[in-house]
Structure 1
């Protein structure tokens, strides 16, 4: 069976060349796209070069590296605003540090020695989270663009709709006919991709933290 097309990169970060090569072979053989880095500094340099255009990726990060350890690399990735899920590979003596890293926002950790299938499963779970987040971000962007495309009058009608007002009341408030309200209402629903005022309010609620529905 042919492996499905993968669009999420796996960044493998380990200062042991044999480990890097072994992990790259494992994921390449499963149809994943990988990039290998010999140090945390190398990964950070590549991340900075993206200038915030992160794309979709997951990081597999060794705990013990020199000169930048895995946890230090992770903290610097966070400081850059990098959203990639990070899964730590740790020896028994570093489990405590790995647990702290997870508390601080890392995706997960896996203790060595690990089973290949378990590692692949954990990475796939992280990838699913990346895809879900990307889909959610795309939908929010679509909603922002749809909201921005409304005319001033459509925005007035929208504000009345989400307050629960009926067409007749909206017409009276805005000094227009009920038929004109119906026309604007239909345009709003089409542009926003909704079928009811309740659905419209729900979608606008997703944008509320950014003040888009004001």
Structure 2
């Protein structure tokens, strides 16, 4: 790592991290995988200086077997060339496993354009050549953690929406499907063979359970759940 222009760098990143406190981006976890102990130590100190929790490992095998919290915004700072499984191979294995994707910041002393393009196409946040400036690493890690925080927020929203959908009665689900298709209350009552007042009651109760303030909001939430107009 190069330290020129790093005076004040941790403070700059700290402001970025702290500014997201209200949206849950203030805290995060940085995982470091590098087989060079000196690099692990230097990176750990750098990232702790911006108030991130840091865990460092000498191999991908150590990282894989270590417990990791699932609900904390995280990123993985990964060396490309490692003893055993390489960083690029590990990136592919993570993608193939179907696990929630942890944003990766690659670093290497031997990188080339083809390697960096391959990593970025596979979803890496950044690809830094050693020696890199402290601020470049800080910016990459904070960006990765912000990306993961956004993913977690979407997952939490979908979980809440799924709970709302599961709380609906079969009639309420049927009404919402018809609402999402653009039918008015009278049309819904005719299609379902129920009284208009009953259709209105089902619709109001279902919209409340889904916390939907409009038809557009309902359609957006149903799309997030992958329901579309075809759910039964």
Range into which the TM-score falls when normalised by the shorter chain? 0.7 to 0.9
1:80 to 86, 93, 97: 97
Pairwise CA RMSD? 2.5
* 2:58 equivalent in structure 1: 38
Q: Does 1:57 align with 2:74?
A: yes
Report the CA distance between 1:211 and its aligned residue: 8.6
Q: Could you say what secondary structure the match of 1:208 adopts?
A: coil
Q: Measure, in 1, the Cα distance between the counterparts of 2:190 and 2:117.
A: 61
Contact 2:222 2:228 in 1 (8 A): no
Q: Measure, in 2, the Cα distance between the counterparts of 1:182 and 1:163.
A: 16
TM-score by length of structure 1 reads 0.87
Task: Tell me: higher relative CO, structure 1 or 2? Use CA pairs within 8 A at least 6 residues apart.
Answer: 2
Report the CA distance between 1:172 and its aligned residue: 2.1
Report the CA distance between 1:204 and its aligned residue: 1.0
1:160 to 178, 186, 192: 178
Q: Does 1:91 align with 2:91?
A: no
Residues 156 and 78 (structure 1 numbering): CA distance in 2 closer, same or farther, change over 3 Å? closer
Contact 1:44 1:77 in 2 (8 A): no
Report the CA distance between 1:94 and its aligned residue: 4.0
Matches within 5 A, 1:1-214: 4=18, 6-46=26-66, 53=70, 55-82=72-99, 83-208=101-226, 213-214=231-232
Structure 2 unpaired stretches of 5+: 1-10
Residues 93 and 145 (structure 1 numbering): CA distance in 2 closer, same or farther, change over 3 Å? closer
Matched positions, count: 211
